[in-house]
């Protein structure tokens, strides 16, 4: 099993985001911010928490994911109408999405070059650019 990030570090993260360190937020933080980049759904993270023996409701997982996203601890990735993904990698980057197993993989942005994008109108403010490479598994 991977090493678990100590509460102290997670505590500091929450504190600096202005979020009260409740038991549930700490549990989810430790699952999410374990050192490697993760892509989770509410459902998936909830199962994970339950499986690890914690008690937390699905509604709270949604609340926490939304709170973390508002606090810029997570980034929401839209690849699937009907299911939200949350990414612990909040730096600018792109994704490969496998439509067969619903798996998201990061693409480092420094490798990607985008040219020829249109000039926005004077009333449009750029939020972000998403590049999604959709793949399926090759049938053997």
Partner DNA sequence: GTGTTTGCAAAGTGTTTGCAATTTA
Partner DNA sequence: TAAATTGCAAACACTTTGCAAACAC
Rounded distance, CA 55 to CA 52, Å? 9
Chain-centroid distance of CA 73 in Å reads 8
Quick one: 56 or 107, whose CB is closer to DNA? 56
Question: Is 70 a residue that touches DNA (CB under 7 A)?
Answer: no
Q: Which of residues 12-71 bind its own copies (CB under 8 A)?
A: none
Out of 37, 63, 89, 98, name the contact with DNA by CB under 7 A. 63
Q: Which of residues 32-61 bind DNA (CB under 7 A)?
A: 41-43, 55-60
Tokens representing 15 are: 């504190």
> Rounded to the nearest whole angstrom, what is the least distance from the CB of residue 21 to DNA in the complex?
5
Out of 81, 87, 90, 93, name the contact with its own copies by CB under 8 A. 81
| Element (DSSP H or E) covering residue 4 | none
Supply the angle between the helices 23-32 and 58-70 in degrees, to the nearest 10: 70
């Amino acid at each position: 099993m991977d090493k678990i990030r100590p509460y102290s570090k997670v505590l500091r993260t929450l504190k600096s985001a202005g979020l009260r360190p409740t038991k549930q937020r700490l549990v989810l933080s430790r699952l999410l911010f374990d050192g490697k980049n993760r892509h989770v759904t509410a459902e998936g993270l909830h199962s994970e928490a339950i499986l690890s023996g914690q008690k937390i409701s699905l509604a709270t997982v949604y609340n926490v994911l939304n709170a973390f996203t508002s606090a810029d601890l997570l980034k929401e990735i839209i690849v699937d109408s009907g299911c939200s993904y949350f990414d612990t990698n909040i730096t600018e980057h792109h994704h490969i999405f496998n439509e067969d197993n619903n798996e998201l993989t990061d693409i480092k942005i420094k490798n990607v070059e985008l040219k020829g994008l249109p000039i926005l109108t004077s009333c449009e403010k750029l939020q972000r650019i998403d590049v999604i490479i959709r793949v399926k598994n090759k049938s053997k």
